[in-house]
Amino acid sequence: MINHIPEFLYHLLIKQYGENMTQTIIDGYSQKRPLTLRANTLKANIQNIKDTFDSLDFTYKDVSWYKDALIMKNISEEQIKHLEIYKNGEIYLQSLSSMIPPIILSPKENENILDMAAAPGGKTTQMLAISQNKAFITACEKNKIRAERLQYNLNKQDANRVNVMIRDARQLDDFFCFDKILLDAPCSGSGTISIFDKKLESTFTENLVNRSAKVQADLLKKAITLLKPGHEMVYSTCSILSQENETILQKFIDLKQIEVLPIDVSVFTNAILLPSSIEGALCICPSDLYEGFFVAKLRKL
């Protein structure tokens, strides 16, 4: 271990980001982030949620780029889970970083959308809420137990325009065709690790990164096949390693199958941004507010 992270990860970060930025990333790995959540606008609105918190003297802060999200101050997950608004699905606990991909995808009324790796359903229900319950979403999850959890969350939040498929999205028939796709790809989680995790050296391995990269490439290849020409998709991971992000995308950019649509990164004023070799992509550094995350908006050529 170097600086409390696996040696191979330290060297990958140094190679990609240099010493100063690597130290900033490691500092981010040591942060304890506040609880963040969003109002589930399929059942409630943000003012109702604020009124409930005000009545309980819970302190919170708005999120400048998402009016339905809140940052809780000195409130534990246990306290939130005891509230009726949590139990009946009016709010959903979700990290700020993971709220970004659905916002970038911007689902609209009557669009047919594929969520390729949907469980536990936070982004799925968020996409439906953004479309004001008017998009149609196909949500894939290959693991039966995780798919059951996905369906539970969908039911709890009244997300009733979602079709759950217990299937590996890589195995979907090519006759499917979608207006938009969210590929929040399974990854190593290099943006979300904690230096306080005593099992980190045994669980976060080079093999995990390599296996993740292969799955990501296969999923992106399938996504491009299933997306309508000229239409948009979002690729995201909670990894900050180029092997799982830029390297994957660049292969398909070079093949002229996709192009990158620039994200307005200036919106995320309180995030530390990491440099990316893909111009227009968003790479967020782990910090006291954000998990490390990569997001790219793509158009099929």
The answer for residues whose C-beta is within 8 angstroms of residue 109's C-beta and 6 or more apart is: 131, 132, 134, 135
Residue 145: how many other CB atoms lie within 10 Å? 9
Give the Cα separation of 202 and 1 in Å (integer).
11
- Whole-number Cα distances in Å, 201 to 22, 39, 195, 277, 292: 18, 37, 10, 28, 19
Phi, psi (rounded to 5 degrees) for 179: -75, -40
Longest alpha-carbon distance in the chain:
56
Radius of gyration of the chain, Cα coordinates, nearest whole angstrom: 19
User: Do the beta carbons of residue 141 and residue 119 sit within 8 Å?
Assistant: yes
User: Do the beta carbons of residue 26 and residue 195 sit within 8 Å?
Assistant: yes
Give the Cα separation of 103 and 180 in Å (integer).
13
Respond yes or no: is residue 238 known to be catalytic: yes
Give the Cα separation of 159 and 129 in Å (integer).
8
Adjacent-strand bridge partners of 180: 113, 232
Handedness of CA 268, 271, 273, 274 (dihedral sign): negative
Of the residues 140, 177, 187, 238, which is catalytic? 238
Give the active site residues: 238
